[in-house]
Amino acid sequence: EREQLKALAGLPAITRDGTSLTLNANLELPREMEGARDAGAAGVGLLRTEFMYMNRDDLPGEEEQYQELRDLIIAMDGRPVTARTLDVGGEKLAGALADRFATPANPALGLRAIRLGLKEPKLLETQLAAMLRAGAHGPIRILVPMISNPSEMRKVRELMRAVARRLLRRGHAIADPLPPLGAMIEIPGAALAADSLASVSDFFAIGTNDLIQYTLAIDRGDEQVAYLYDPLHPAVLRLVQFTVEAAGRAGIPVSVCGEMAGDPRYAALLLGLGVRELSMAPGNLPLVKRRVRGLDLREATRRAGMIMSQTDGGRIAALLDDFNEALG
């Protein structure tokens, strides 16, 4: 079984009826690249750069971040790397930053992620500079966490352009053209306004971990309410579906990079909803790839349609079980 899964790394992620899918890896640190490569990832769908800020007393500077990203990009050898800007706050605290900012009364709803980056543009500029410079060595995409509003995307894009001009003046090589700039869809309001966000985004990445947390008002780290944390809640599925459709209408790519994408049972449903790109912990890639290779996409689309016409979570789960048994 182990050997079988290992052999999958070299095989294409293609459905039984011939559609190619993109299965990417989520990384916490750039130097974890080997896990992604060994598992046969098509690219890095999510690099959680905040981990470069954790377990230390100082902040990583532009040069350090540039070098780490550059090494990752070179190691990925032409496969795209999606670097997310700092996503701290809530359950993710970074040593040197925790000291500088008061913990909000409600960290999940407070000054976190891109809100922090826009309040402290120096933080964001350092990251954007490192990313733009690393992008001179291979394909990079820049992803912005916790977007709730198109104006946030516009501000980040302006900042990226200003940083690019400054780097060029300083004589640095940078990504040319400038990298695609994407919005994470992980707030219900962002999903419901996905049409307006699509007009200012080059791609979407749906973060189901936070999307579920905010949609159902369930702290993702709270054991006492974990039983209510349900990826199959119709509200969650409808938000995912709407986002995927909005991306389709706008002609921009959309991926799913929450834990849901790395579970073969849910992956089948996500593909049926029109998602063609999934990003997950490297360890989940073989199982999801095996699922994908056994899947008939037309059938998956039909089954997803049936599931989406249901209003009851239990019924949805039962239909999904049938689906996975029939096509396992």
Residues with catalytic roles: 257
Q: Residue 203 carries which side chain, given as an amino acid letter? A: F
Minimum gap (Å) between residue 163 Cβ and Mg ion? 24
Nearest CB to Mg ion, comparing residues 193 and 257: 257
Q: What is the DSSP letter of 278?
A: E
Q: Which residue is listed with tokens 């989940």? A: 284
Q: Tell me the window of 11-19, 102-110, 187-195, 207-215 that interacts with ligand PEP (CB under 6 A).
A: 207-215
Give strand pairing partners of 27.
Answer: 47
Dihedrals phi, psi of 46, to nearest 5 degrees: -160, 115
Query: Which residue lies nearest Mg ion, judged by its C-beta?
Result: 210
The H-or-E segment that residue 44 falls in is: strand 44-48
User: Does the CA dihedral 20-306-288-228 come out positive or negative?
Assistant: positive
Instruction: Tell me: is residue 32 an annotated ligand-binding position.
Output: no
Determine which residue in the list 24, 148, 208, 243 makes contact with ligand PEP, applying CB under 6 A: 208
Residue 239: CB partners within 8 Å, gap ≥ 6?
Answer: 188, 191, 192, 211, 215
For residue 175, what is the DSSP state?
-
Residue numbers 5-34 binding ligand PEP by CB under 6 A: none
Provide the minimum distance between the beta carbon of 30 and ligand PEP in the complex, in angstroms, as a whole number.
Answer: 15
Choosing among ligand PEP, Mg ion, none, which partner's interface includes residue 196 (Cβ < 5 to 8 Å by kind)? none
CB of 90 to ligand PEP, least distance (A): 8
| Contact residue for ligand PEP among 67, 149, 209, 310 (CB under 6 A) | 209
CB 89 within 8 A of CB 107: yes
- Contact residues for Mg ion (CB under 5 A)? 186, 207, 210
Residues 39-68: x where in contact with ligand PEP by CB under 6 A, - otherwise, as a string: -------x-x--------------------
207 belongs to the binding site for ligand PEP (CB under 6 A): yes
Q: Is 84 annotated as a binding residue?
A: yes
Site string for ligand PEP, 143-182 (x = CB under 6 A): ----------------------------------------
**Dist. CA 218–CA 292, nearest whole Å:** 30
Q: What is the rounded distance in angstroms from the CA atom of residue 82 to the CA atom of residue 64?
A: 18
- Minimum CB distance to ligand PEP, residue 281 (Å): 10
Q: Is 263 in the site for ligand PEP (CB under 6 A)?
A: no
- Over the range 96-108, which residues count as b (16 or more CB within 10 Å of their CB) and which as e? ebeeebeeeeebb
- Tell me: is residue 209 an annotated ligand-binding position: yes
Q: What is the DSSP string of 189-254?
A: HHHHTHHHHHTT-SEEEE-HHHHHHHHHT--TT-GGGGGG--TT-HHHHHHHHHHHHHHHHHT--E
Tell whether 210 is in a known binding site: yes
Q: Which of 52, 257, 270, 278 forms a contact with ligand PEP (CB under 6 A)?
A: 257
- Candidates 43, 60, 135, 258; binder of ligand PEP (CB under 6 A) is 258
Helix 121-134 and helix 150-169: axis angle, to 10°?
A: 60
Q: Is 17 annotated as a binding residue?
A: no
Binding site for ligand PEP (CB under 6 A): 46, 48, 87, 186, 207-210, 257-258
Which residues define the annotated binding site for Mg(2+)?
186, 210
